[in-house]
A and B are shown apart, each in its own frame.
Chain A
Amino acid sequence: MLGTLTILLLCQLAGELITRVLHLPVPGPVIGMVLLFVGLLVKGDVPAPLQDTAGGILRHLSLLFVPAGVGVMAHLHRLGTEALPIAAALFGSTLLGIALTAWVMSALSRNGEDRS
């Protein structure tokens, strides 16, 4: 658990440093994810402690969004005056985004399987 947490933080830290040194537009943790992924490819399997810790954190991934979500308090005025455009945009674009992405992916991979 402790060792794994250290590995995750090291990957994140390396990711943050890389994005800053190379001026990448991508956040550090995403580069950190790529680093860990490459590490797993090199190693060839997922060590059990890493599996447990990663599973534990990801099981409660949505908890981590709560503090930022409460920030809604600070924008109640704007959300009130522009309620209709904001609500329509959020619902419309989110549902369209999910449906289109999934539909394109499923249509393309089905064609691929037919040919093979």
Chain B
Amino acid sequence: MSPDFHEIWVYLSASPLAGLTLTLVAYQAGLWVFERFGRRPILNPVLIAVLLIAGLLTATGVEYRTYFDGAQFVHFLLGPATVALAVPLYKQFNEVRRSAPALLVALLAGSAASALSAVGIAWALGASQRTLLSLAPKSVTSPIAMGVSEQIGGLPSLTAVFVILTGIIAASLGTWVLNLVRVKDWRARGFGMGVAAHGIGTARALQVNEVAGAFAGLGMGLNALATAILLPVLYHLIFG
């Protein structure tokens, strides 16, 4: 390595600029692929971006922590974005109020089914307890999921990965499974995506239909609340 190149490398790995730029470029590339090949849900831009960045970091031997030091500025925006979900929610408020009882029952059913089936399936197939506990909160938005995971003895960073993978699965296969169970109502379709797959499910729902997007945002918020309150209680009931 020439001295110049070394100096540039040191600069790049110390400044947030590289991680930040890499994140945006990789996501743009993901969007490009998604648009270019007929917007197939399986070509999820998040999935593509994650694979590109993880591949590049592995190839160059850069640690995740170093990358995240820069990329955390993008990560930070999750907070204001969550607050901003109040806007589509407000615009659908009349609809929401009208279907409040149905929403509540569907929320409890979906929230419990997501968490219990995740833990149940993994347990039946012999996953370790650490993995089971990290899986339980995977349907809710990452800051909450990580908090709950820590509370019940899981690994928060592993939970974050499960959260993202859940979102990618929902964004890729959600439309298919919703057609399979023949739900046509945009409110119900969106709400299902939001409850089961937080922000990535919501992002996908917003892409498809505005009403679905608003209900997805609502589902994500409500399930965050439900999971944060119910899961630690459930954990204490089961594991004592």
- Assembled-state Cα–Cα distance A82/B85 (Å): 35
Contact (A64, B199) CB under 8 Å given A30-B82, A72-B54, A105-B188: yes
Interface residues on A, range: 35 or more
State whether A32 touches B50 (Cβ < 8 A). no
List CB contacts (< 8 Å) of A53-84 with chain B: 53-55, 57-75, 78-79, 82, 84
Return the CB mask of A20-51 against B: 1 if under 8 Å, else 0.
00000111111011111101110000100011
- Assembled-state Cα–Cα distance A11/B27 (Å): 28
State whether A26 touches B161 (Cβ < 8 A). no
A-B Cβ contacts below 8 A, count: 342
Contact (A85, B127) CB under 8 Å given A27-B224, A64-B81, A70-B54: yes
State whether B143 touches A29 (Cβ < 8 A). yes
- Assembled-state Cα–Cα distance A77/B23 (Å): 24
Q: Which residues of B contact A68 (CB under 8 A)?
A: 75, 142, 160-161, 163-164
> Mostly helix, strand, loop or mixed at chain A's interface?
helix
State whether B169 touches A54 (Cβ < 8 A). no
Those 6 A-B pairs whose CB atoms lie nearest each other, nearest first: A101-B110, A102-B192, A97-B196, A97-B114, A93-B118, A67-B71
State whether B228 touches A100 (Cβ < 8 A). no
The interface size of chain B toward A, counting residues with CB under 8 Å, comes to 118
State whether B83 touches A8 (Cβ < 8 A). yes
Q: Does chain A have a CB within 8 A of B193?
A: yes
State whether A101 touches B117 (Cβ < 8 A). no
Q: Which residues of B contact A51 (CB under 8 A)?
A: 87
State whether A46 touches B83 (Cβ < 8 A). no
State whether A103 touches B183 (Cβ < 8 A). yes
Extra 18 A-B pairs, beta carbons < 8 Å, given A25-B232, A97-B111, A105-B188: A9-B80, A12-B80, A46-B87, A63-B49, A69-B164, A70-B67, A78-B131, A79-B161, A89-B135, A90-B169, A93-B166, A94-B114, A94-B139, A99-B177, A99-B183, A101-B192, A102-B185, A109-B187
